[in-house]
Structure 1
Amino acid sequence: MPDARTVLVAGTASHVGKSTIAAGICRYLADRSVSVAPYKAQNMSTNARATPGGEIGVSQYVQARAARVPPTTDHNPVLLKPRGDGESQLIVDGQAVADLSAGQYYDEHWDDALTAAREAHRRLAAAHDVIVAEGAGSIAEINLHDRDLANVETARFADADVLLVADIERGGVFASLVGTLALLPADLRERVAGAVITKFRGDRSLLAPGVDEFEDRTGVPVLGVVPYDDPGLPEEDSVALPPVGGRAVEGADDGVADADAITVAVPRVPHISNFTDLQPLAATPGVRVAYVPLSASLADADAVVLPGSKNTVDDLLALREAGFDAALSAFDGPIVGLCGGYQMLGERITNADIEGTGDSETVAGLGLLPVETAFSPDKTVERVSRRLDGVGPLAGATGVVEGYEIHMGETEPLDDIDRPFPSSGAATDDVLGTYLHDLFANDEARTAFVKNTLDAAGSDVRVDRGRGRDDPYDRAEALVTDHVDLESLGLR
C-alpha cells in the first residue's frame, strides 16, 4: 500500500484541461504546507524539459514548479517523443533507450516501463503526503486497457482516487462523461470520486439540469464547472497549437492596437517540438506570434523564429520542398533559430541519417549561418546558465540567462563569427542560432529581441518589458479553488 494518497486527474479525451487542474491542485496544496508531488507514469510529448537526471515531459516540470519541489525524473518516468514515420524515442528514467514503433514498445519494453513507473511512484509516495497524478488522453480507451500505464495501471498500483475531467468546449460533455464511465473496468469505476467540467462559457444555471441528470444516472458528483480561461502554463503537445495563422495566446492583451503589433512568424514544421519557447513572446503586449504554413509568404512578418524539431532533417527537407528556404533567404528582418531551428540555419548537417528517417549522410542547410552540425547517437540533456553577449537579433542584451538544452548533435562554426554565449551559438547582424531553450523566458533576451524587431520594422511603438500575464501557477490555483469542490475530494 503506498505511503501517500494519490489523486489521478484523468480525462475523457486529450486536451480537456487535465494538466491545468493538476497544476492548480499542486499549487493549492503546496501553499497550505502539504508535501505534494506531481506524477505521470507515461507521457507522449514533443515538449520536454531537462532535470538533473534527464528529460521529463513539460507538464510534470510545470507541475513540480507549481508544487514548489525540484523537478525529477520520478515525476515522469516514461516519456515517448514522436519523431515521425510511426516511431517515437523512448525515454525511461530520463534517459533515451531506443527509437521504436508502438508495437516494439509494447512487445519489447512494456515490462521495463511498468517497473520504472511503479518504482518512481513508490519513491515519491515515500517522500510526500499527496501525489497528484495526471492521466494521458482518455481513460476509456478500451483497446489499451491491458497496457494503459498512465491511467489504468497508475490507478491500480497507486491505489488512486480518480477525478474525471471533461471539456465542454467541443460539445457532448455529458455523453463523454457517461460513455467514459460505462467503458471503465469495474474496479476503476469504483475509484471515480467526482467529475469536473472545464472550458465552460456562459450562464452556469443553463448547465444545471444536465448536471442533475448526470449525477442521477451515474451517482458520480460533478465537483466543479471551470470557466474557459488560459492561465498561461506551457502546453504539452501540438494539439494545443493555435490554427495556422492564429494567435499563440488566445485573448492576450496586446496593450497596443493590432496594427502596431509586431508579428513573429513561426513555420509550422511537421515535427515541431518545444514550441513552448514561443509562449513568453506571445504573452508580451504588442507581440503577435503566428504559426504559418511552410508555403506562406513572409511579407507580413517582422521577424521569424525557427522552432525546435524532433526530426530536424525531415523538417528541413519539408521547408525546402515547400519553398520556405527561398522566402527565408529573401527575408530582411531578424531571424532566430532555436535548437533544431539553429541546426537548419547552418551550411550543412552531416551524419544526417542518424537523426533523420531517410538515408542521406549529408544534407544541405539553409545557409544563413556559417556553421555545420554533425549528428551522433549521444544526446545532450542539461539545465544551463550562461552569460549573454548581445549580438545580432539580441543586440544590446547583457547579463546571465537560464534555460536548458536537449539535442542530438554538435554545431561548430566554419568561420569567425559572433557568438551570443561564450563558445556557444552563432550570429550575424540579422540571424542568430542557439541550442538554448527558454531563451525568451529571460527578460533581457526577450526585450532586446522585441526592440530590435521594432527597430528593423521602422516602428516607433514601444512595448512593455513585462510579459503582461499574472503568475500562471497562481492563476491555475485560482481556477481550481474558485470552481472545484476540493473539500468533497478530501483535499481541503
Structure 2
Amino acid sequence: MAHTLLVAGTASHVGKSTVAAGLCRYLADRGVSVAPFKAQNMSNNARATPGGEVGVSQYVQARAAGVAPSTDHNPVLLKPRGDGESQLILDGEAVGHFEARGYYDEHWGDALDVARAAHGRLTESHDVIVAEGAGSIAEINLHDRDLANVETARFADADVLLVADIERGGVFASLVGTLELVPDDIRDQVAGAVITKFRGDRSLLAPGIDEFEDRTGVPVLGVLPYDDPGLPEEDSVALPPVGERSVVGADDGVPGDESITVAVPRLPRISNFTDLEPLAREPGVRVAYVPPDATLDEFDAVVLPGSKNTVDDLLALTNAGFGDRLQSFDGPVVGLCGGYQMLGEAITNAAIEGTGDTDRVEGLGLLPVTTEFSESKTVEHVQRDLDGVGPLSGASGTVEGYEIHMGDSTLTDEAARPFDGDGAATDSVLGTYLHDLFVNEIARGAFVRNAFESAGIDSPAANERESGDPYERAAGLVADHVDLGPLGLADW
C-alpha cells in the first residue's frame, strides 16, 4: 500500500506547490517511485497530457518525480471563466460550464468518485503519493465538500504536513487557528508543520516554535528560507489585481537604461501567464503586467497572453482603447493562444465562449486572421519547425509546447506561417497557439534580441539569471530544512 502525504496549507500561496515538488524530486533522486496528486485544482494555468488537461503544478511535480504527467495526477480541474462560472474538467475532459452551486449540487459526487479512482490507480504503481491541498484546509464552510484537502486526507489515509507562510505575518496564529478549525479526525492526521518564506535569524523564531508545539503537540518540522526555485506559478494570486501594474524580472543587476520592458495586458480572465516567466528570467528583460487602459509609450515590446474567455477579454481591451494604442506601437508584438485570436480581424461564433449572445466580435486588427469558435477543444503536446519571421526573425529549428484552445484561425490575406504552416506573422507582429513558446531558447533568444534591436539597446549576454535546476533547488530546500522522519519518509 502506497504511503500518501498531503501537503496542506493555512491559506493560498503559502508554498504548498514548492514543498510538494521538492518532496517529489527528493524522493525520486533516492530511487523512490513517487507520484504527485491533487484531487481538485482551480487554475487557468493548465498543461496538456496525452489524456487531457491538468493543472500546471501537477504537471511540474510529475516532471520533478520523473514520471510522465497524466490526468490521474489532477483528476478534477476547474478553470474559472468569469462571472462565478468555471469549466469543469474530469479526467482531462471538459464536462461543461457551471456556477459553484451547480457544481456542488450536481457534479461534486462525480468529482469525488473520479478523484478516488485516480488516487487508487496511482497507489497501485507507486510507493509514495505526494498530494497537494488547495487553499486553506480550514475552510469550515466547505468541510463537507473539500475534495482537495479533507476528502483527500480521508480516502487516502494521508499524513498531513501543514504549510504556513511567515511573510504575510501572523504565522503562529494561522497555524493554531487552522488546527482548531480542521475536523477532529483530520487533526489527528497532522504529522507536523512547516514555516515558509522566512528571512533573517532562525533563532529568533525559537520561542514561538516552542510555545506553538507546547500548545498544539504538533512539531514544527522545518523553517524554509525565502527562496524562489523558479517553478511556474499555479494561479493568478501571484499577479497584480486587474487595474494595477506590476513588474517582474528587475533583480538582475542590469541598469534600467540598458534593459527592455515587455508590456503584458493584465486581462481580467488571464490564463497560462506562466508563458511569460522565461522572458522575465532573461538578463535585462522586465515583464510589466499593465492595466488594459495603460499607455504603451514606455515599453519596448508587447505580449498578449492567453485567456480563459477570449471574447470578453477582447472586449475589455477594445473598450479600454488598447487596440488603438497597439496599432500605433512600433515594437515587436506577440500573441499567444487567446492573444493570437485577439490580434486578428474578428472572432465568429463568439457566443460559444463569450458571456453575451453576439455572433461576431471585431479583433484588434494587427494580423490578417479570422477565428471561428466551435464546441470542440484542442488539447495536445506539439512540436513545430520554426521558420522565424517578424518578432522571431533569425530563429530556425524545432520548438515544442502545448496547445489548449477552442476555435480555428484562418488567414484572410497573405502572411507568413512560421510554425509548420500554423500561426501568422507580419514584419512586427506574430501570433501562435503554442504555449511554452518562450521556454524554447531559439524562440526566446530571437524575441529578446529583436526587442533589444528595436529599442536601440545592446543586448546583454543571453543566459538565464536563475542558477541550477529548479526541481533540484526545490528538493534542496526540503532536504536541507525539513525533518522528514515524522512524515514517514526518512528511510526512503
**TM-score normalised to structure 2 length:** 0.98
SS in 1 for 2:486: coil
Q: Matches of 2:441 and 2:454 in 1, distance apart?
A: 20
Match of 2:239 among 230, 238, 241: 241
2:205 counterpart of 1:213: no
SS in 1 for 2:197: strand
Aligned counterpart, 2:201: 203
Aligned counterpart, 1:256: 254
Q: Compute the RMSD of aligned alpha carbons.
A: 1.0
Contact 1:232/1:469 (<8 A) preserved: no
Contact 2:40/2:75 (<8 A) preserved: yes
Q: Matches of 1:82 and 1:248 in 2, distance apart?
A: 24
The letter of the residue matching 2:458 is D
Aligned counterpart, 2:123: 125
SS in 1 for 2:103: helix
Q: Matches of 1:69 and 1:375 in 2, distance apart?
A: 34
Q: Matches of 1:284 and 1:253 in 2, distance apart?
A: 11
Aligned length: 488
Contact 1:260/1:286 (<8 A) preserved: yes
Unaligned runs of at least 5 residues, structure 1: none
Aligned counterpart, 1:374: 372
2:131 counterpart of 1:155: no
What are the Cα deviations for residues 250-303 of structure 1, in whole angstroms up to 9, with x where unaligned? xx6425222211100100010000000000000111110110111111111100
The letter of the residue matching 2:237 is V
Match of 1:348 among 346, 349, 352: 346
How many angstroms does 1:242 deviate by? 4.8
Match of 1:16 among 14, 17, 31: 14
Contact 1:241/1:248 (<8 A) preserved: no
How many angstroms does 1:435 deviate by? 0.2
How many angstroms does 1:444 deviate by? 0.2
Aligned counterpart, 1:186: 184
What are the Cα deviations for residues 23-69 of structure 1, in whole angstroms up to 9, with x where unaligned? 00000000000000000000000100000000000000000000010
Match of 1:459 among 452, 457, 460: 457
Which shifted more, 75-84 or 99-108? 99-108
Q: Matches of 1:122 and 1:468 in 2, distance apart?
A: 37
- Listed as ranges, the matches of 1:286-325 within 5 Å are 286-325=284-323
Match of 1:77 among 75, 78, 85: 75
Contact 1:451/1:462 (<8 A) preserved: no
- Listed as ranges, the matches of 1:391-406 within 5 Å are 391-406=389-404
How many angstroms does 1:467 deviate by? 5.2
What are the Cα deviations for residues 157-215 of structure 1, in whole angstroms up to 9, with x where unaligned? 00100000001111011110001000111100000000000111111111111100000
Contact 2:252/2:465 (<8 A) preserved: no
Aligned counterpart, 2:89: 91
Aligned counterpart, 2:282: 284
Aligned counterpart, 1:475: 473
Q: Matches of 1:462 and 1:433 in 2, distance apart?
A: 26
Q: Matches of 1:465 and 1:419 in 2, distance apart?
A: 28
Aligned counterpart, 1:485: 483
The sequence identity of aligned pairs, in percent, is 75
2:388 counterpart of 1:365: no
- Listed as ranges, the matches of 1:265-280 within 5 Å are 265-280=263-278
Q: Matches of 1:173 and 1:462 in 2, distance apart?
A: 41
2:43 counterpart of 1:45: yes
Contact 2:303/2:333 (<8 A) preserved: yes
What are the Cα deviations for residues 397-418 of structure 1, in whole angstroms up to 9, with x where unaligned? 0100010000001111111210
Q: Matches of 2:442 and 2:465 in 1, distance apart?
A: 12
Aligned counterpart, 1:164: 162
SS in 2 for 1:43: strand
The letter of the residue matching 1:245 is R
Match of 1:228 among 221, 226, 229: 226
Q: Matches of 1:420 and 1:36 in 2, distance apart?
A: 39
